[in-house]
Amino acid sequence: MNKKLLLVLTLGFCANLLYAQRHDIVKESTTYEWPKDPLVKEKLDHWQDKKFGMIIHWGLYAVPGIIESWSICSEDWIERDTTISYEDYKKAYWDYSKQFNPTKFNPEQWSAAGKAAGMKYLVFTTKHHDGFAMFDTKQSDFSIAKGPFANNPKADVAKYVFDAFRKDGFMIGAYFSKPDWHSQYYWWQKYATPDRNNNYDIKKYPWRWNMFKSFTYNQIGELMNNYGSIDILWLDGGWVRPLETVNEEVLSWGAPIPKWSQDIDMPKIATMARKAQPGLLMVDRTVHGPYENYQTPEQKIPDTQLDHPWESCMTLGGAWGFVPNDQYKPAGEVVHKLVEIVAKGGSLLLGIGPKPDGTLPDEVTQKLSEIGKWTSKNGQAIYNTRITKNYHDGQTWFTQSKDGKKRFAIYCIHADEAIPGIIKWRNNIPKKGTDVLLLSTGKKVKWQNVGGEIILSLPKLEKTAALAFEFIPQ
């Protein structure tokens, strides 16, 4: 079809897909199973120190600047304002692989921006639901290393992303979609593709499903064996699961119910992956059990503090991937979310999307730099901390050091609020005679305990998103 028309169509339904993505928000599991492997427990504790990470969605969808993958899925909530047939649309989408040539690909820029923000771990989309691999897989020709970018020295994109972030001290996570809508072993062209699930009867065609299981196992094996040290295998597409685990929690998504068990043999995958990467954290999202080492509520923060490992994955803008003219959150809002999440026992995984040329939008690097101005001065109240019982009082959130010897109070300042001269809270009482330090300056602030209410008197300070204080609790 005409390329100009295709561009108009794809950009035309972009706004609808922004809404649609929220329709598909994934809820966290309601139960958690602690790992038994001591190496996994050690890695999990190390991950819980990091608190702030970056998730990068980058793939075919960056070329037209639309929401990742979902436009080729035929479900009622997905709108394609177009007169072309569904099959023609899918073909046009697949053909973006012939245009994806990110000649300015700059993973060092991405890592530097994340480091400047105070981020400590990475999750990179090695393959989203559309099946387009951002690594040099031998299982398919549908990858960044086989198209126009094939002759570039950095054609094996994931390798260079992982290398760049690893050099900057990040923990490394590989996002991998369990469903693969491009694979004939998942969406078989013999049948229509009515929804996100595989489109043929697995019981009737077990050979085909076994081929998909092998395909998935082999691709994950490539990632685990060919790309250096990997800390996290972050598996998306929670509808690909044994049928017996489809419960009320899954049905609450409003997603189509699988007709048959989509069991890809996670025990086999986990054994292989951890043989290659001892202590690997496996995050089989929403499929509670031994392969969901931490939970991942999406675009939301739990209402209350949780006593097990979790992260909230949220977008910096309105979309996971690159969308032209996206609206990005103010840096102060991100800081406030980070503070609340950490006080509730979680980590923030912030989503950004590089442009089709392989660079970050200027506004993204600017926002990350602004966030970093706060974390660089106040990070002691965030990193390497753990939850404390009384974690919230009004605009103030509380964390403590891992050894419990120090307590931190973080007062979040509203965007339209002036820096207060006095801050008050109850509980989390400083030890009598101890100093209360303002982390951003390292200086003592005056405080008093009046009937169990702590009152801090502050000097004049420059505008900031939040004020963090350190003290020894009584």
Average pLDDT value for residue range 310-335: 97
Q: What is the pLDDT of residues 191-238, one digit of tens each?
A: 999 999 999 999 999 999 999 999 999 999 999 999 999 999 999 999
Q: How confident is the model at residue 304 (pLDDT cuts 50, 70, 90)?
A: very high
User: For residue 445, with 0-12 CB atoms within 10 Å meaning exposed, 13-18 middle and 19 or more buried, which class applies?
Assistant: middle
Is the whole-model pTM more than 0.85?
A: yes
How far apart are the C-alpha atoms of 185 and 163, rounded to whole Å?
32
Q: What is the pLDDT of residues 258-269, one digit of tens each?
A: 889 999 999 999
Q: What is the pLDDT of residues 280-292, one digit of tens each?
A: 999 999 998 999 9
Looking at the predicted structure, is the pLDDT value of residue 19 above 60?
no
Question: In this predicted structure, what is the pLDDT of residue 9?
Answer: 41
* Residue 253 near residue 195 (C-beta atoms within 8 A): no
* Residue 401 near residue 454 (C-beta atoms within 8 A): no
Question: In this predicted structure, what is the pLDDT of residue 253?
Answer: 58
* Residue 100 near residue 63 (C-beta atoms within 8 A): yes
| Spatial CA neighbour of 215 closest among 126, 138, 123 | 138
Question: In this predicted structure, what is the pLDDT of residue 375?
Answer: 98
| Spatial CA neighbour of 147 closest among 76, 98, 104 | 98
Q: What is the pLDDT of residues 324-359, one digit of tens each?
A: 999 999 999 999 999 999 999 999 999 999 999 999
How far apart are the C-alpha atoms of 226 and 242, rounded to whole Å?
29
Task: Output phi, psi for 468, to 5 deg.
Answer: -115, 135
């990070």: which residue's tokens?
379
Contacts of 452 (CB under 8 A, 6+ apart): 426, 429
| Ordered DSSP codes for 377-413 | HHGGGTTTEE--SS-EETTEEEEEETTSS-EEEEEEP
Q: What is the enclosing helix (H) or strand (E) of 367?
A: helix 362-378
Question: In this predicted structure, what is the pLDDT of residue 227?
Answer: 98
Q: How confident is the model at residue 248 (pLDDT cuts 50, 70, 90)?
A: low
Higher pLDDT, 334 or 26: 334
pLDDT above 90 covers a percentage of the chain that reads: 88
DSSP-derived letter for residue 328 is P
How far apart are the C-alpha atoms of 423 and 430, rounded to whole Å?
14
Question: In this predicted structure, what is the pLDDT of residue 259?
Answer: 86
């809270």: which residue's tokens?
425
Contacts of 159 (CB under 8 A, 6+ apart): 135, 136, 226, 227, 228
Q: How confident is the model at residue 450 (pLDDT cuts 50, 70, 90)?
A: very high
Q: Are strands 52-56 and 346-352 parallel, antiparallel or unpaired?
A: parallel
Q: What is the pLDDT of residues 53-107, one digit of tens each?
A: 999 999 999 999 999 999 999 998 898 867 899 999 999 999 999 999 999 999 9
Question: In this predicted structure, what is the pLDDT of residue 59?
Answer: 98
Looking at the predicted structure, is the pLDDT value of residue 24 above 70?
no
* Residue type for position 281: L
Q: How confident is the model at residue 389 (pLDDT cuts 50, 70, 90)?
A: very high
| Spatial CA neighbour of 163 closest among 135, 194, 202, 191 | 135
Q: What is the pLDDT of residues 156-204, one digit of tens each?
A: 999 999 999 999 999 999 999 999 999 999 999 999 999 999 999 999 9
* Residue 288 near residue 31 (C-beta atoms within 8 A): yes
Average pLDDT value for residue range 401-413: 98
